A = this chain, B = another copy of it.
Amino acid sequence: MNNNTYYLFFTNLANPLKMDIIFCLRDKEKNVSEIIKECGVEQSKVSHALSSLKACNIVQVKQEGKERIYFLNKDTIVPMLKLIEKHANVHCKCKCCDNETCGRRKK
């Protein structure tokens, strides 16, 4: 294990579309067309995002006919999101991250 492991993992998640996809898969596995429709973005964009999420095993795939069903590997990501939620509840009561307070643009 080295520092690359950690920052590359974070880099993979540092993207609003990928967050959308993760939330979209939180309750139920879905094929790409469904993800596209729910997220409301262009096909190849979703495909690229899924591809890098898959590379880090954040999502996994199975083939069913001509569809590919993506599902979330919840072991890591779900507790991780909970940690952020807790963190934000404690530290971002100022609507931080929802405005400019954290020094970053929102999407």
Contacts and interface: CB of A to CB of B under 8 A. Distances in A.
Contacts of A4: 16, 97-98, 106-107
A45 to B, nearest CB: 15
Contacts of A102: 8, 12, 55-56
Contacts of A51: 103
Interface stretch (A30-38, A64-72, A74-82): A74-82
Interface residues of A, number: 49
Q: Specify how many copies of this chain sit in the oligomer.
A: 2
Q: Is the interface of A mostly helix, strand, loop or mixed?
A: helix
A81 B8 contact: no
A101 B6 CA distance: 15
A28 interface: no
Which one of A6, A81, A86, A90 has the greatest number of beta carbons of chain B within 10 Å?
A6
